């Protein structure tokens, strides 16, 4: 963990703020003068995880860069709900690129800043999983291999939600989307497909790669802060549940993110120069079923006798993550 856990306070470091902590130990989101980079009035659905994740991440980046930040934004939910011309919710310098070239546009901004001698200005590129893992993947990989001075943030809601929930290469196996309907023996999205972009990013041996969720604000903020301590290509992959596409209640967004991590399905870790340097441990391990059941995109796994075989395969994916990243404390695993 990159942040120092503060022990024995009423709620430790798990809540957003804590009146008993010193100012400098409090989260960016607890601050009354946080940037609110993504302001009210945006058109994201109720309980949108992406809107939340974007404000968490960009507010933290603004804080870390003393508000000298430019963002390029791929097409996708985030762009559509935040900036329907001529209104915008962004309170930062922000440019909308195409669907596939946010990484390249950000590279260009970074180059322009270098030419202008503005070494104080930092650049962020952001997009959804579609714009990152599928459509913008070539530009992203190029940005990585050239080690351009950009922090790329992917808000992963595991499908193309903006256009009506179609499968992306980040959609998990067995999930129902409009292009992976469970039919006959086929239980939603196929196993053995898709991309693990955080690991692909690590394979480029770029300075910094991290994963995070909207359920762990302090961890997320610490990772953005850490990313801004590096120059060169950096990548943060944030899991942002989507009430619409996943089919859970709008009040359940954070709980879903928490369960994704606590079951081991979404490993939360950070890596420097291709090596994992720390992982966020599971606090209370839970079976994947706890995570799958509340989501209608997995409802077919539990209807009419269900598909215990499929659930077991998902469980083994979680188990693999747990052993691969060492997600359990010694104590908790014994």
Partner 1 sequence: MKRKPFAITLDPGSSLANHTGSWRTVRPEYVDRLPPCNHACPAGENIQGWLFHAEAGEYEQAWRVLTRDNPMPAVMGRVCYHPCETACNRGALDSCVGVNAIERFLGDEALRRGWKFEPPLSPTGKRVLVIGAGPSGLSAAYHLARLGHSVSIHEAGPLAGGMKRFGIPKYRLPRKVLDAEIQRIDDLGVKLQLHTKVTNVVETMRKGHFDAVFLAVGAHIAKRAYLPAGSAGKMLDAVSVLRSMEGGEKPLLGRRVVVYGGGNTALDVARTAKRLGADESIIVYRRTREKMPAHESELEEALQEGVLVKWLSTIKQAGESSITVEKMQLDEKGMAQPTGEFETLEADSVVLALGQDVDLSLLNGIPGLEIEDGVAKVGPDMMTGHPGIFAGGDMVQGQRTVTVGIGHGKLAARNIDAWLSGKTWEHPARHELATFAKLNTWYYSDAPKSQQPVLDMIRRQSTFEEVVGSFDQETAQFEARRCLSCGNCFECDNCYGVCPDNAVIKLGPGRRYEFNYDYCKGCGLCVSECPCGAIRTVPEEI
Q: Which residues bind partner 1 (CB under 8 A)?
A: 7-20, 27, 29-30, 32, 36, 38-44, 46-49, 51-52, 55, 82, 85-89, 217, 243, 249-255, 258, 283
Q: How far from 166 is each of 129, 171, 188, 220, CA to CA, in Å?
A: 11, 9, 12, 27
Q: Nearer Cβ to partner 1, position 56 or 235? A: 56
Q: Nearer Cβ to partner 1, position 49 or 198? A: 49
Question: Nearest distance from residue 42's CB to partner 1, in Å?
Answer: 5
Question: Nearest distance from residue 187's CB to partner 1, in Å?
Answer: 29
Work out the number of other CB atoms within 10 angstroms of the CB of residue 320.
12
What is the C-alpha to C-alpha distance for residues 267 and 211, in angstroms, rounded to an integer?
Answer: 7
Question: Nearest distance from residue 82's CB to partner 1, in Å?
Answer: 7
Question: Nearest distance from residue 260's CB to partner 1, in Å?
Answer: 14
Question: Nearest distance from residue 297's CB to partner 1, in Å?
Answer: 19
Q: Nearer Cβ to partner 1, position 18 or 211? A: 18
What is the C-alpha to C-alpha distance for residues 213 and 247, in angstroms, rounded to an integer?
Answer: 18
Question: Nearest distance from residue 93's CB to partner 1, in Å?
Answer: 12
Rg of the Cα atoms in the chain = 19
Q: Nearer Cβ to partner 1, position 60 or 124? A: 60
- Closest to 220 in 3D by CA, of 200, 240, 202, 203: 240
The secondary structure element, H or E, covering residue 71 is strand 69-73
Question: Nearest distance from residue 13's CB to partner 1, in Å?
Answer: 8
- Closest to 254 in 3D by CA, of 15, 73, 74, 60: 15
With a CB cutoff of 8 Å and minimum separation 6, the contacts of 103 are 125, 136, 139, 140, 142, 143, 150, 152
**Dihedral pair phi/psi, residue 37, rounded to 5°:** -50, -40
The alpha carbon of residue 50 and the mean position of all alpha carbons in its chain are separated, in whole angstroms, by 8
What is the C-alpha to C-alpha distance for residues 315 and 172, in angstroms, rounded to an integer?
Answer: 12
Question: Nearest distance from residue 330's CB to partner 1, in Å?
Answer: 16
Nearest 5°: CA angle at 221, between 217 and 222? 115
- Closest to 4 in 3D by CA, of 208, 218, 272: 218
With a CB cutoff of 8 Å and minimum separation 6, the contacts of 144 are 201, 204, 206, 233, 235
Question: Nearest distance from residue 43's CB to partner 1, in Å?
Answer: 7
Looking up tokens 């942002």 gives: 240
Q: Nearer Cβ to partner 1, position 136 or 241? A: 241
What is the C-alpha to C-alpha distance for residues 171 and 157, in angstroms, rounded to an integer?
Answer: 8
Q: Nearer Cβ to partner 1, position 60 or 279? A: 60
Q: Nearer Cβ to partner 1, position 111 or 251? A: 251
Q: Nearer Cβ to partner 1, position 39 or 163? A: 39
Q: Nearer Cβ to partner 1, position 10 or 334? A: 10
């Amino acid at each position: 963990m990159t942040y120092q856990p503060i022990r024995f306070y009423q709620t430790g470091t798990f809540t957003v703020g804590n009146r008993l902590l010193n100012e400098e130990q409090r989260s960016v989101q607890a601050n009354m003068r946080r940037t609110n980079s993504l302001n009210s009035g945006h058109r994201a659905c109720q309980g949108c995880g992406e809107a939340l994740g974007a404000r968490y991440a960009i507010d933290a980046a603004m804080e870390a860069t003393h508000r000298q930040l430019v963002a390029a934004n791929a097409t996708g939910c985030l762009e559509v709900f935040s900036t329907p011309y001529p209104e915008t919710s962004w309170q930062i310098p922000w440019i909308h690129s195409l669907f596939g070239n946010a990484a390249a546009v950000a590279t260009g901004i970074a180059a322009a800043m270098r030419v202008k001698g503005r070494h104080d200005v930092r650049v962020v590129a952001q997009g959804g999983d579609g714009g990152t893992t599928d459509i913008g993947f070539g530009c992203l990989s190029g940005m990585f291999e050239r080690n351009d001075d950009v922090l790329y943030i992917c808000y992963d809601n595991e499908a193309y939600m903006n256009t009506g929930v179609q499968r992306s290469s980040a959609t998990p196996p067995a999930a129902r989307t409009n292009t992976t309907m469970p039919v006959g023996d086929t239980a939603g999205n196929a196993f053995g497909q898709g991309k693990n972009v955080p690991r692909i990013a690590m394979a480029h041996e770029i300075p910094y790669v991290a994963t995070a969720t909207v359920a762990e604000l302090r961890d997320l903020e610490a990772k953005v802060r850490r990313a801004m301590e590096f120059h060169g290509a950096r990548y943060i992959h944030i899991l942002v549940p989507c009430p619409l596409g996943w089919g859970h209640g709008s009040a359940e967004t954070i709980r879903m993110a928490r369960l994704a991590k606590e079951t081991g399905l979404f490993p939360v870790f950070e890596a420097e120069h291709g090596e994992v340097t720390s992982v966020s441990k599971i606090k209370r391990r839970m079976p994947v079923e706890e995570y799958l059941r509340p989501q209608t995109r997995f409802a077919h796994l539990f209807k009419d006798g269900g598909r215990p075989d499929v659930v077991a395969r998902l469980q083994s994916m979680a188990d693999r993550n747990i052993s691969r990243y060492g997600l359990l404390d010694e104590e908790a695993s014994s």
